[in-house]
A and B are shown apart, each in its own frame.
Chain A
Amino acid sequence: MQSHIRWLMAEIDRWKAEGVVSPEQADRLRHRYEQPPKETVPWGLLVFATAGAIVIGLGVILLFAYNWDEIPKFGKLALIFAAVIGAHAGGIRLLAREGWQPKLGEALTALGTMFYGAGIWLVAQIYNIDEHYPNGFLFWALGALAMAWAIRSTANGLLAAVLLAIWGCTEAFDFHTPEFWSVMLVAGGLLPLAWQQRSALLLAATLAAIQLLLAVNVVNWGGGAHAFTASLAWAVLLVAAARVTDADRPDFADGAGVMTFFGFGAFLVCAYMLSFHRAADGLLDWARQYGPRPALAHAFSWSLFALSLAGWLLIARRSLLQRAMEVRREEWLLPIALLYCFGIAFLNQRGWGNFVSWSFNLMLLGFAAMWMWRGCQESRLRPTVLGSLLLSAVVLARYFDLFQSLASRGLAFIILGGIFIAEAMYYRKMRQTKGGAA
């Protein structure tokens, strides 16, 4: 039962006891607002049991890493095989039962997958295998991914997301061989599972892994500028996906929230970095950036650009022409920023660095002002605070590179303070107008 309904039920009992409402009226009110008990997932059990399983698995890996001389190699192998088989057998047995036990079973299979990973490193240790070590993470991740799909397991899916991210990063950082498949495996292997299970947690882990791998891979394929274009396009695509999910899949509102968070997060980070001269210069060198596979970096950037644009065209059609969905005014800045960013990068005009960094500053200030305005207008704290934080971040960053003298810096801080005071007054006024507490 939601907390406000629980509060209302308690209040109705009090009203009945105090004679404010009659017993019949109390029953009618109770009937009107009472919700049928929902079958809920035992999240506490799932989260803590999974965390426990992962920590135990890590402990076993470290324990074997000690390399006990006293245990013969076949003894070590027998131990790890028994652990993998035991954990999986126990987990699968519980999966077939009713109630809360399948969730514990899921945690046990995650423990089995951790033991499987420990087994990979143990065999490598016993036989002194020192081959391409990211392959160890890949095989471990594939085991976790397969188990995640076999039992539709969020815990194994989370493990797969983390391991695939480690695999992709070690390939890129340690061997300079960024793997195209790392992004595709996470996107193709885990996004559908998160969607099917309506798991916001798995979706969050998957989106974080994709964002990380995307940035790492495109930087290695085609240089730093591609990290901006690909990440920006990805961010704008995520917000579009969030809006469509909001409109068409109300049962996955949590997922839409996660997409919005990662979309806006990535967008603001990119725009913030591009508001600095040096990063803006890098973006303008987009066409000339080099790496071992610039064509692949371009392919990623342009495909994400096309998908984002298609998404926003669909949203424009449904919101502006069909009036079938609502999009907040400031969100239209996202596709505009995307078109602008790709246009600037494509034009390839070195020497426009100052202009580009100023335009991204203005874009961020636009977002900050619109959030603050909407927050005050709707008397909502979250957009007000977000806008204020964004404005502060822009001004504080400029403290280091924009102003030439302490006087201009001082003036900027005075203006910022003045804006906050004006915002506070306006927020109070709007809150009072709507009848809320000031």
Chain B
Amino acid sequence: MKVKLALLVAALQVLVLAFMGGQREWIMRTGTPLTLRTAPVDPNDPMRGAYVRLDYEISTVPAALCRGETAKWTKTSDYREQQKLRDRVVYAAVGVSAYGLAELKSLSDTEPVSGPFLRGRVVSADTNGVHVRYGIEALFMNKEAARRMEAMRNEKAGAPMDVTVAVGSSGIAVLKNTAWEPLGITFAIDRPPQRQPRTPGQQWQPQVLTGLTVTLHNYGDKDLAIVNLPEAKSFRLVPNTRFAGNHYTCAGEKSADVPTPTADDIIVLKPGAKHDVHLDLTQPQWWIADTRKPDSEPIPLQKVPQADGWSTSFRLEYAPPTADTVRGLPHADLIRHAPLRSRAFNANQGVD
């Protein structure tokens, strides 16, 4: 009897392992493929070794995309209630953009009736939105490979990583492949001349942000083209939704203002080449507005009140024209149309 029971338990242990591996293998082979955009960091796990932590764009869900119960979660600011939400199962409905990247459509506590969706768990929820973990945030590899990945992140500064996952019918996602985007975006903040040292008793004043020099890099091994519209109209400011407490949005953005590209606006970047564009953030095109005061006038970033300076966080987005808009222009086939976002920065010149 003892032996039979022991055999049964041993068989159950093997079955648990077989189910774990088999389910993932099945999803990997038959699941819906999706490409997600991410940026990696690299910690270490004592049980599973070195891994690269993947932080997906769809992991941060703004309150506007929350549906059902999840919408209610973003309305509470009670810490105890927010703690109770940790690890609750949620479902992220996704669509595929024109550039082949997965885009978040909505987040709900119930399974969507149609379309691909990912099952995740709540990391945190507040009035800005919900931070979700999809179970695909770790890419395990040996230490040397993780180091190479880290080195590559520095070599390809500003280039996001695209991750291909297979998604099963229950929303479980399995990580399949990773690939670096060939186009990267970095920026340098305009630094004013060295300030005089503070005299005793003088209050500290943060440095204000007046301009940026954006650089687009071709990290790939083939030529690619970028579109630099007049007055830097290929770029826009995007509020950093990952940072709770940002109450400002870009007021200068109007889609009708974007001019039609011409052949002169298209710049071909050879492998390893880069192109700089200077943005004067004091111009009205880059002004921002306080969402707490709908009637307030837009202000430039350097006029943001000191109390809001650190939390007023934005990213720069390089948003090239669509394929239809540039059709027929020289080198149009070399243009990458997917938008590209920079690291975040704030009104006090702080960079993430």
Contact = CB atoms under 8 A, between A and B. Distances in A.
Are A and B physically bound partners? yes
A282 interface: no
Contacts of B48: 65, 67, 121, 124-125
A297 to B, nearest CB: 14
B151 interface: no
20 contacts: A65-B48, A66-B143, A67-B49, A80-B17, A85-B10, A88-B13, A91-B6, A109-B10, A123-B20, A125-B140, A126-B21, A130-B137, A132-B87, A136-B47, A139-B16, A146-B9, A147-B6, A151-B6, A152-B2, A292-B84
A400 B288 CA distance: 57
A371 to B, nearest CB: 43
B315 to A, nearest CB: 25
B189 interface: no
A175 interface: yes
Nearest to A146: B9
Interface in A99-119: 109, 112-113, 116, 119
A93 B133 CA distance: 44
Contact of B17 (A68, A69, A120): A120
A129 B142 contact: no
Interface residues of A, number: 49
Contacts of B145: 67, 69
A394 interface: no
Given A128-B138, A176-B83, A92 B47 contact: no
Given A61-B47, A80-B17, 9 more contacts: A67-B50, A69-B145, A120-B16, A120-B20, A126-B21, A128-B174, A130-B133, A130-B135, A143-B16
A84 B14 contact: yes
A112 B24 contact: no
Chain B contact patch, size range: 35 or more
Interface of A: 61, 64-69, 77, 80-81, 84-85, 88-89, 91-92, 95-96, 109, 112-113, 116, 119-121, 123-132, 136, 139, 143, 146-147, 149-152, 175-177, 290, 292
Interface in B8-63: 8-10, 12-14, 16-18, 20-21, 24-25, 28, 45-51
B238 interface: no
A143 B12 contact: yes
Interface centre among B9, B45, B50, B136 (most CB of A within 10 A): B9
B17 A116 contact: yes
Interface in B117-175: 121, 133, 135-143, 145, 174-175
A290 B28 CA distance: 45
Nearest to B141: A67
B174 A127 contact: yes
Contacts of B28: 127
B179 interface: no
A150 to B, nearest CB: 4
B17 A95 contact: no
Contacts, number: 133
A296 to B, nearest CB: 13
B293 interface: no
Nearest to A126: B21
B6 A292 contact: no
A77 B13 contact: no
DSSP majority for the A interface? Answer: helix
A126 B2 CA distance: 34
A222 to B, nearest CB: 12
A177 B139 CA distance: 26
Interface centre among B45, B87, B136, B140 (most CB of A within 10 A): B140
Contact of B9 (A77, A143, A290, A292): A143
Contact of A129 (B7, B17, B24, B86): B24
Given A129-B24, A152-B2, A81 B17 contact: yes
A115 B49 CA distance: 17
B21 A177 contact: no
A84 B133 CA distance: 31
Contact of A66 (B46, B49, B136): B49
A84 B10 contact: yes
Given A80-B17, A123-B20, A292-B80, A131 B47 contact: no
Contacts of B46: 65
Contacts of A147: 6, 9-10, 13
A40 to B, nearest CB: 21
Contacts of A127: 20-21, 24-25, 28, 174-175
B5 interface: yes
B3 interface: yes
Contacts of B133: 130
Contact of A131 (B5, B8, B135, B143): B135
Contacts of B21: 77, 123, 126-127
Contacts of A121: 47-48
B2 A150 contact: yes
Contacts of B5: 149-151
Contacts of B13: 84, 88, 112-113, 116, 143, 147
Contacts of B7: 88, 92
